[in-house]
């Protein structure tokens, strides 16, 4: 069986889902027999170098760069997986969705109790910075997503079993306990 090609990225997430991925421990040796990694923070390859079988997305979309990266994953990956609550529902970053963006920026950079080094009272405005979106969006509201792996972070066994199923063409099983919203 030829190896499947995998790519991963972290959008508006905390990298906890990637950490959980690495929690498959010694099974990572088995994983490299089954797959090769393309663009991913795991190997630090920053651009797609070939067509990818499985794209794994951590985090939702909070800025213009997230949208761009997510769309490039959809274009380059046959199958797209939302990994974790941030990718599936926006997660913790989406807690700002009920607050106007101006208020969020003022609290973070001007008025918040931990702001001490902004005497000029400027908001970050470098043109290189990606534009913040007014809301944090789950990935499937931007592009079509094929599979969803819930959890914060999803359990390493769940990630492993799902990956093996995808790579071997078997049906992915989601145990009842992991499909929950609390």
> Does 162 participate in binding ligand SF4 (rule CB under 6 A)?
no
CB 129 within 8 A of CB 175: no
Structure-token match 């994953």, residue found: 73
Residue 26 CB neighbours (<10 A) = 7
CB 162 within 8 A of CB 172: yes
112-151 footprint of ligand SF4 as x/- string (CB under 6 A): ----------------------------------------
Token reading at 143 = 């592009």
Region binding ligand SF4 by CB under 6 A among candidate stretches 13-21, 120-128, 136-144, 163-171: 13-21
Pairing of strands 147-149, 52-58: unpaired
Q: Is 101 helix (H, G, I), strand (E, B) or coil?
A: helix
Q: With respect to ligand SF4, which residue has the nearer C-beta, 55 or 84? A: 84
> Does 84 participate in binding ligand SF4 (rule CB under 6 A)?
yes
Measured from the CB of residue 70, what is the shortest distance to ligand SF4 in angstroms? 14
Q: Which residues bind ligand SF4 (CB under 6 A)?
A: 13-14, 16-17, 58-59, 84-86, 91-92, 152-153
């Amino acid at each position: 069986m030829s190896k499947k090609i995998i790519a991963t990225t972290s959008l508006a997430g905390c990298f906890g889902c990637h950490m959980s991925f690495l929690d498959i421990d010694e099974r990572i040796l088995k994983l490299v027999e089954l797959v090769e990694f393309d663009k991913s923070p795991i190997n630090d390859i920053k651009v797609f170098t070939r067509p990818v079988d499985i794209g794994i997305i951590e985090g939702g979309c909070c800025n213009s760069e997230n949208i761009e990266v997510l769309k490039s994953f959809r274009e380059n990956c046959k199958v797209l997986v939302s990994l974790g609550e941030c990718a599936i529902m926006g997660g913790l970053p989406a807690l700002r969705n009920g607050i106007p963006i101006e208020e969020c920026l003022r609290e973070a950079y001007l008025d918040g109790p931990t702001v001490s080094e902004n005497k000029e009272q400027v908001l970050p405005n470098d043109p290189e910075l990606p534009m913040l979106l007014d809301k944090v969006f789950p990935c499937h509201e931007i592009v079509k997503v094929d599979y969803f792996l819930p959890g914060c972070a999803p359990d390493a066994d769940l990630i492993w079993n799902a990956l093996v199923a995808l790579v071997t063409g078997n049906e992915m099983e989601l145990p009842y306990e992991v499909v929950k919203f609390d």
